[in-house]
Structure formats: C-alpha cells, structure tokens
Structure 1
Amino acid sequence: MAINSIKFYLLLGINLLMLGTLSLNAWISYHDALHELDEIYDAELARSAKLISLLLSSNPLPQTNTEPLVIAVPHITEMGEALSAQQERLLDGHKYEGKIAFQAQQGDKLIMLSENALQFPTPKREAGYHEITEHGTLWVTFSYFVPEHNLWVFTAQREDIREELGAHIAQAQVRPILFMMLPLSLLIYLVIKLVLRPLNQLQQQVANKTPEQLHEIQLALPSELQPIQGAINSLLQRIRRYLQQEKRFVADASHELRTPLSILQLHAQNLSSAKDPVEIAEAINAITEGSKRMSHLVDQLLSIARLDHLRQINCAIVALTPLLHQSLSQLPIKLLDKVNWQLELDNSCEVYGDSTLLQSVLRNVLDNAAKYSVTDGVVQVTTQQNAEITTIRISNGGAVEPDISRLGDRFYRHQQHQNSDGAGLGLSIVKHIVALHHGQLSFKRNSAGGLDVTLTLPAAAPGENHR
C-alpha cells in the first residue's frame, strides 16, 4: 500500500540525510586518519633506520664477528587484546614488537638484524620506501644508506598493523552512528510531530465543519499555514453565501410556484361547477394564462439551473445589429406596439460571445424595457464600439423608481409590478450570462423617470486586436 504522509516522508528524508551526512563524515575521517597513520608509521620507520645507522656509525661492531648480531624479539600472545592500555604497559614488551623488524648491512655483510628478520628476502638497496612479502605477509620497508661507512639500514613494519588500527578507527567512527541513530530518530519524530501539530489542529477544525457551522477558522498558526487558513476561510464564506442564496432561491421559487398553482386549482374548481358559457370561457382563459405564466417561470428556473453549472461557453465574433433585430422580433406583439422604438445602431459593431446566450440577454432587457415603460413611451437603443469594447445602452421612460441595488436579484420585482407577467428572473439570467462573457451590467435612473441599462461586452477574443 502506498504511503502518503508528510510526517513519514519528513522522518524518512531527515533520517536518510542525517545517516548520509554522518556516514560521509565518518568515511572522510576514516581515510584522513589512515593517511595520518601511514605518515606516522612511515616517519617511525625512517627515524628508526637513522637511529640504528647513527648507533652503528658511532659504535661499530667488532670486525672479528663472523655472524651477524641478532636482536631477540619477545614472544607475547595475543591475550593483550583483552587488556587495557595500562595493563599492557606492565608486560615485558609489547605484542607489536614482533611486527617491526630491521637489518643492517655493511658492504655485502649482514652485521645486525632483528630475530623476526632472519627469513627476510634480500632488501632493495635503493633509498626510500618499498614493499616486500615474507611468507605471505606484506611488509612496508624503508632503506637508508650511510656512504662514509658503506652502511645500509633497512627497517620494516607489517602492513596488518596498519590494517588493524584502521579497523579500530573505522569501528570508532561507525559505533557512534549506530548508537546515535535510534535516539536521534526518536527526537526527530517528536520534533516533527510537534511542528505539524498546528496542521493537525487545522485538519480537525475543517473536519468538524457542518453546513450549519461554517464560521471562519481562527487558529494561531505558523506563517506557512496562514495562507491555507485564509483560503479555507474564503471558501467557507463563499459556501455560506452560496447556501444562503440557494435557500432564498428555493423559498422564492416555492412561493412563486405556489401562487399560479393555487390560481389554477381555483379556476379548475370554478370550471367544474360553472354552467354559464361566459363563466366557462373566463375560467378556461384564466387557466390558459396561468399555465403560460407557470411554463414561463419553469423555463426561467431551468435556464438559471443550466447557467449555474455552465463554466465554458462557445464564443465567436457576432455582428450586433442583426442580433438586436432578431431579439426584437421575438418580443410579443403587444410589447412591440406598446412603445415607440428608437434605434441608433452602429452597423459595424461586433461582440465576442455565444450568439444564443447573447440573444437571451438582449431579449430579456428589451422585454423589461417595454414592459415597465409607460404606454406610448420611448425605448431607445444605442450601440457603439470603442477599441475592444462594445457598449449597448437601452433606455426607457417610466413612473416607478426601482431599487437599483436589488436589480438582478432572483425574484425581485418592484411592489407595483407584482401583478405583471414574469417572475423577476430575467435580469438575474442577464447578469449571469454577462458575467460568463466577462462583461459588465449597470443600471442608472434617467431624466425621463425610467432606467438606463448599459451592457459592456468584449468585441474581440482576449489577447486579440480585432479589426
């Protein structure tokens, strides 16, 4: 099973980094120590050779000696490994003496040597350091020549001394790593757990949220987590606002649907008991009008539901004047005849958007302009294009002053227009479609007592210079 945990990866990463760093440091220290050890032993070989040559030069051996002088080497068992350094010093010598040897030759004659050098092969008469093998054992040698006495001194040391000491050094480097890893890992785990505790607190706060408890989270978090808390609070605020809008929408929709249903039910009852043809005709007409109003309301509710889930639209360059004429042609005849239409259109104007959605915008705005205008009033439509922006202004004259701040809210209608056709959803649909096109919708009272509706839409695709 895949592990997906910040705590796990932090613990693993820090431990691996720590182990790698300590191991690299131990490896470097080990090789540095071996290098220094080699230099010390090499210096000891050179010093011993020079000391022996000085002694032999100052006090030469009698010429009558036909056999070389053999210096005994103490035979000490390896039991010294279990002894402390202080106990080893009490012995009559040291176990490493058997691993150090020397020879001295005057001319072609061997005059002095250590006991463990009796079986040595003939050393090289070449000043400096060399390596020889005796019975499968590697020795490092140093050759020193004294010309005035024709004296060669050879000192040697077994290589396994250096290897043994190198192993001790390596153990000394590895042992702290092995003993430190477990407590350090535990300490790192506790530190990570402490550092990530604010993240756990934030997770618990978010997990405990319910639709009824969407208040903001207020925790004293580190600076790295404060943007996350801010983003979560912003999201909670949007969700709370969205839920409030949906609750209001459901309540308003229920109210708007209940009224025409009650009217239909009443007229249906009247129709079932009516005997007079005139009453029957009135009931049928009322039922027909109520059905139309209810059908219109359901269509608008479905349109809003579709727009709420619409995130992308198919945009193209659309000529504005034909679009306006098509929208006007879709208005009811009684609205077209109710007012005088003044069209001041720039035929070169174009908009960038979805022609079907834009037609719905224009149809709703023109419908409202005529519906809420005084009879025989004037509805003026003007268009103009400036750079990449196209502006459409629709003005009418009226006697009712609406609450401009609420225009575009769902189901909002002025008190004096409660009996008018419609459900107060048209401008809400317009507002949503304009937002999808990255345009702007504004309202302003005019001098004729009516309303100026201004639509600002892009004339070209973003990043393109149209024309």
Structure 2
Amino acid sequence: MKRGDSLYRRLLGWLLLPLLGLGSLILIQAWVDARRTADRAFDRLLEAASLAIAEQVQWQDDRLWLDLPPAALEMLATDAEERVFYSLVDGQGRLITGNAELPGDPRQGPGDADTLLYRHIDWQGLSLRLGVRRTRLEEWRVREPFEVRVAHSREGRDALAARLWRANLAMILAMAALATVGLLLAIRAALTPLTRLRRAIRARDPRTLAPLELSLPRELAELRDTVNELLARMRRVRANQERFIGDASHQLRTPLAGLSARAELALRQDDPTRWREALVAMQATSARTARLAVQLLSLTRLANPEYRPELVPLELNAIARQAVRDHWASCHRQGVDLGVESAGGEVRVRGIDWLLAEAIGNLIDNACRYGGQRVTVQVQDAPPRLVVEDDGPGIPSQRRLLMLRPFHRDREDVEGSGLGLAIVDGIARTHGARLQLSSGHDGRGLSVVLQFPGDTP
C-alpha cells in the first residue's frame, strides 16, 4: 500500500486543513487588532496634543493668537522619528499659524462642544493620520470658533502595530504547536483500536476461521462483526468443500477399486474369453469414471464464486436440436425414444452454448438411467424455457430439493454419481435462470424446466 493512502495521513490532512484556515483567520484578526490598538494609542496622543494647542489659543488685537508650547508636539515624537504637522484655522477656514497647511475634515461636528475627528490622509506624498479639533474661545467677550489640526506620519503607529502583532504571533504559534501535538496524539489514540485489530488479524493462524474476539469501539465493532460473518461463510464453504472432496473421493475410489479387482482377476485366468469379458467390463467402468471426472470438474467450476463467464446471445432451438443429435445414438441403443419439440420461431437467450448442452445432456442421461422410455426436449418462448420431460418413475415432491445436492441419488440400485441435477442447478444459476422440477404432463415421469429471464435479446 502506498504511504499516501495511509488513513493516519488522510485524517491528519483533513483535520489540519480547517486548523490552518482558522489559524490564518486568527493571524489576520491579530494584525487588525494590532493596527486598531496602535491607532487608539496614537490617537490619544493626537487628542492630547490638539487639546494642549487649543488651550493656548487666545484673542489678541482682534485676532486669534497662539503661543505654541514645545511639549504639545514633542509628545507625538517617538523613537520612530515621525514627522509632525499642525495648523490653527479660524472659523472662516483661514490659516492663522502652523508649520503646514493641513486639510480640514468635511464631516460636521455637533454644535459648540469640542469635536475631535480622525482620518487617514495622503498629503504631499505622505501617509498621515490627521486629528481635527473643532472648538471656540471660552472668553466672555469673544466666542470665536477655530480648528486645531494636528497630523503625524505613520512610522510610530506601524512600528507599534508590528510589535503587537509579533507578540500575538508568538502566542498563536505556541498555541498552534500545542494544538498540532494534541491533534497528532488524538489521531494516534483514535487509531489504536484499528492497530489492535490489524495485529490480531495478522497474528492469526491462516488455517483457522474462528471468529475474532476483540473489544473495539462501535464503528470498528461493526467491521469486526462483518469480518466474523465473512469467516462464518468461509467456514461453511470449507465444510461444503471438505464434504464434496470426501464424497468425490468415495465416488472415484469405488470404480478405481473395481478396475483393480477386474484386472487382478483377469490376470489369474488363462482363458482369452475371460480376458475379453474383463476388458469389456473395465472399459465400461473406465467410461463411467471418466464421465464422473468430467462431472466433478464441471461442478467444481460452477461452484467457484469467481467464475463469471461472459454470456452471449444464443438461439435455444439450435442448441436443443444439436444436443438431441449428440445423444440420439446412445439413447437408441438403450431403447429410449428421444425427440425434440422446437418453438415456432427463434428463441433468443443470453448464455454459454456448451454449458446449456451439458445441462441437456445431464438431464437426458438421468432420464435414461432412471427408467425413462420416452424423453422429450422442448423449447418454449414467452418467457424462454428449456424443458426436458420423461415418462419414468419421477421423483416424489418432498425429495426434489434433495436431488439438487451433489452425490444425492433417489435410488441406490441405479448406477450414477448423483451429480447430474446438481450440475444443471449450477448452470441455471450461472445463466440467471430458474430451475423447476415437477411431474410430467400426464402426472408420470419428471419434467425439468429452465426458465430464462424474459428480457433477454
């Protein structure tokens, strides 16, 4: 298995992606908060500076006059060496004094109360933070309105925001490291039961199919129960295989022992006539043994769950007629009347020609062995059906399902392996057909029907 297909890596990836997204949002929020905190701190300095300047504004010689205190601007000068500007403007917007003609703020302030407005401006190629204080003189004779405009460059603000963000970044990274370690430990702990299950399966003896006895969480317990169900099915399959092998060995041992006995008996004789009789008997036994071996191979192949042959369109009348031609001579020698009744038109099914011919051959052979004197192969349409009917003694209804089991015979006094109907049943399942056993049309004999799906081309 590729390392990229690891469940551990997949869980880690899917859990880390949301954490990375959340961490990115936290970093962005930390930077926004650092900028906002730096702005609030320096806006307080702008407020203090504008207030210190406004308190020094007086009315002399019918005009506004300012005695600027040095401390008013020095409080805005930090280690970042910002540039500081100020302007004093009267109520008509005329510059009274200042070291720069700063723009005002178009927003309106409330009444006569002190109003302080802040905004960012770009002035003569500089990015400045501007504070505008709108107020008026408090003398009893004159209440002249004026504005104090103070601005400074952003170096100090940016430096403070960077320091605050770096401090937050260190804390966020530490928290992220702790979260990652906790996540790794949590995933490893969550996958521990899966590791125990894998080790328990790996440590099992490959020859045992006993169920797994392991305490697991609910999700893995369902997987354990599914594996146990699979093991139970495998135990049943193995039991069936062992029973089949035992029955097959018994069936093959009997004719092989007969061959050996016939050969040993013939070797003790000096009469060529006895030799010929022994050879004829051995030839018949060999033929039956070869037929049994072919049936065993067919049944084994059909019982294999991985055997999925490709079904092709076939014409059922042609297959039935060819099967009758192949078996007519042997039936004629036994005095059995073998015939075929074809449908009026073509009957198309999807299947495998040699398997259907094998099914018809087994049904004809069974009918001959069990005393049928008349065997008819019929092809019907709507739905497509293949019927093999004989006039033999038939099978009692309560025993018909038993006849589908391998090596099960209705009568012990008849030669045969008991595989014919089991093979036909396997062929029917391979074709998706329905197998039916019933009495003949006059209540005598046996009628075996293979009914194919009705939607076949």
Interval of TM-score (by shorter of Structure 1 and Structure 2): 0.7 to 0.9
The CA deviation at 1:233 is 3.3
Q: For 2:381, which of 376, 380, 385 is the aligned residue?
A: 385
Alignment partner of 1:140 is 2:129:
yes
CA 205–132 in structure 1, closer or farther in 2 if over 3 Å, else same: closer
Alpha-carbon spacing, 1:281–1:400, altered in 2? closer, same or farther (3 Å): farther
Q: CA, structure 1 residues 288+125, in 2 after alignment: closer, same or farther (shift >3 Å)? A: closer
Q: Deviations over 1:180-221 (max 9, x none)?
A: 223322322232233333333433443344454323446565
1:439 aligns with 2:436: no
Residues 326-384 of structure 1, C-alpha deviations (whole Å, 9 max, x = no match): 2122226453453445755433361412222211111111221222125x4x4455443
User: Who is 2:312 aligned against?
Assistant: 315
Structure 1's 432 and 75: CA in aligned 2 closer, same or farther, altered over 3 A? Answer: same
For residues 93-108 of structure 1, the aligned pairs below 5 Å read 101=84, 103=86, 105=88
- Residue 424 of structure 1 deviates from its aligned partner by 2.5
The 5 A counterparts of 1:25-424 are: 25-35=26-36, 37-38=38-39, 41-42=42-43, 45=46, 48-49=49-50, 52-53=53-54, 55-57=55-57, 59-60=58-59, 69-72=68-71, 101=84, 103=86, 105=88, 110=97, 122-124=100-102, 126-127=104-105, 139-142=128-131, 153-210=148-205, 212-217=207-212, 221-222=216-217, 224-225=219-220, 228-307=223-302, 308=304, 310-320=307-317, 322-331=318-327, 333=329, 335-336=331-332, 337-341=334-338, 345-348=342-345, 350-352=347-349, 353-373=351-371, 376=373, 378-386=374-382, 388-390=383-385, 392-398=387-393, 403-417=399-413, 420=415, 422-424=416-418
Residues in 2 aligned to 1:389 and 1:173: alpha-carbon distance in whole angstroms: 80
Contact 1:105–1:153 (CA under 8 A) maintained in structure 2: yes
Shift of 1:269: 2.2
Instruction: Check the 8 A contact 1:351/1:458 in 2, yes or no.
Output: no
Structure 2 Cα separation of the partners of residues 396 and 405 of structure 1: 20
- CA pair 404-13 structure 1, distance change in 2 beyond 3 A: same
Q: Distance in 1 between matches of 2:56 and 2:424?
A: 116
TM-score normalized by the length of structure 1:
0.76
Residues in 2 aligned to 1:98 and 1:262: alpha-carbon distance in whole angstroms: 114
Match of 2:423 in 1: 429
Q: Determine the C-alpha separation between the residues in 2 that align with 1:399 and 1:439.
A: 22
In the alignment, structure 2 segments of 5+ residues that lack a partner are 107-118, 137-142
Unaligned ranges ≥5, structure 1: 77-92, 114-119
> How far is 1:271 from its partner?
2.7
Residues in 1 aligned to 2:126 and 2:12: alpha-carbon distance in whole angstroms: 48
Question: Per the alignment, do residues 371 and 350 of structure 1 end up closer, same or farther by CA in structure 2, a change over 3 Å counting?
Answer: same
Q: Distance in 2 between matches of 1:109 and 1:311?
A: 101
User: How far off is 1:225 after superposition?
Assistant: 4.1
Percent identity of equivalent pairs: 25
Post-superposition offset of 1:18: 1.3
Alpha carbons of structure 1 residues 69 and 191: separation in structure 2 relative to 1, 3 Å: closer
Please name the residue that 2:140 is paired with. none
The DSSP-based 3-state class of the residue aligned with 1:373 is coil
Give the residue type in structure 1 aligned to 2:14. G
User: How much has 1:29 moved relative to structure 2?
Assistant: 3.8
Q: Which TM-score applies when normalising by structure 2?
A: 0.77
Alpha-carbon distance between aligned partners in 1 of 2:95 and 2:123, rounded to the nearest angstrom: 22
3-state secondary structure, aligned to 1:412: coil
Q: Secondary structure at the match of 2:256?
A: helix
Deviation at 1:100, TM superposition (A): 8.5
What is the match of residue 81 of structure 1? none
Contact 1:132–1:141 under 8 Å retained in 2: no
> C-alpha root-mean-square deviation of aligned residues, in Å?
4.1
Aligned length, in residue pairs: 428
Instruction: Compare 138-147 and 176-185 and name the one that shifted more.
Output: 138-147
Letter in 2 for 1:370: C
Q: CA deviation at 1:454?
A: 2.1
Q: Say if 1:152 and 1:344 are closer, same or farther in 2 by CA, change over 3 A.
A: closer
Query: Could you tell me how far 1:240 is from its partner in structure 2?
Result: 2.0
Change (3 A) 1:211 1:424: farther
